Amino acid sequence: MRIVLIGAGNLATNLGKALSRNGHEIVQVFSTSKTAKHLAKQIGGKPIRNLKLLCDDADIYIIALKDSVVEGLLPQICHGRESRLFVHTSGSLPMNIFRGHTKNYGVFYPLQTFSKSQEVDFQQIPCLIEGANAQVVTVLKDLALSISNRVKKVSTEKRKQIHLAAVFACNFTNYCYTVAGNILKQQKLPFDLLLPLIDETARKVHNMSPRKAQTGPAVRNDENIMEQHMEMLYGNNRDLYERMSQSILDEFFYEDNELPF
């Protein structure tokens, strides 16, 4: 397919590379920054920094921009190209933001965290698709299958719930790594002490449910240890520890034992 990539950030970079590797032609790469030129050098296509320069004859226009700007740019992106296919890559934006701008539209959402410096195996990444009509769904399914072995059609509402789950599983978890790293840094200890623990924690949920894999003082209701930890913390970290421990207690300990009242 002939593809225009609108965006040159983390997701656009990884998606563009995967599409290019699998035989698709990247016609243009748009970004208001110099990243368009850098990405175009890697995956082909002409870098542009003005939406007025978008070509009119691509097979699909993939919008990989931050959610807050997508809807406001649709009039510029879609105008004069109403017969073409447009998709966004957001986990949270509804598909129908395209309504009134074009007839053929959908969502192409790769469920993964992306960094420009970290290559990923797209074959293992779930690609969640949604289309305004059956023809769009067929096109998006074929496109997704060209780069991934895991393709699933999901509605806007289900995709939003999946994105919410992903924030807990990825973004919040990674922030906890940051907190843990800061605690070790204060003691002049390296973060890599935790890597075997992190790897094993992630590995376990491939073979058992997260519920069965849960360990730690909160799931045991080990009040002495939790009190010691609370005394070692302050500010936001203390509040985070207390709230997460209480959530674990509510989810695991109190559910399986007599409630404390």
Domains of the chain: 2-154 (3.40.50.720), 160-256 (1.10.1040.20)
Q: In which band, very low, low, confident or very high, does the pLDDT at 119 lie, cut at 50, 70 and 90?
A: confident
Across residues 5-15, what is the average pLDDT? 96
Res. 101: pLDDT tops 60: yes
Q: For 82-111, what is the mean pLDDT?
A: 96
Q: Does position 260 have pLDDT exceeding 80, yes or no?
A: no
- Say yes or no to pLDDT of 126 above 90: yes
Confidence of residue 261 (pLDDT cuts 50, 70, 90): very low
Give residue-wise pLDDT tens across range 189-209: 999 999 999 999 999 999 999
Query: Nearest 5°: CA angle at 171, between 88 and 218?
Result: 145
Report the percent of the chain where pLDDT is more than 90.
93
Distances (CA, A) of 260 to 8, 18, 250, 253, 257: 53, 53, 11, 10, 9
Percent above pLDDT 70 for the chain: 97
How far apart are alpha carbons 104 and 87 in whole angstroms?
A: 9
pTM of the model: 0.91
Hey, how many other C-beta atoms are within 10 angstroms of the C-beta on 195?
Answer: 10
Average pLDDT of the segment spanning 82-109 = 96
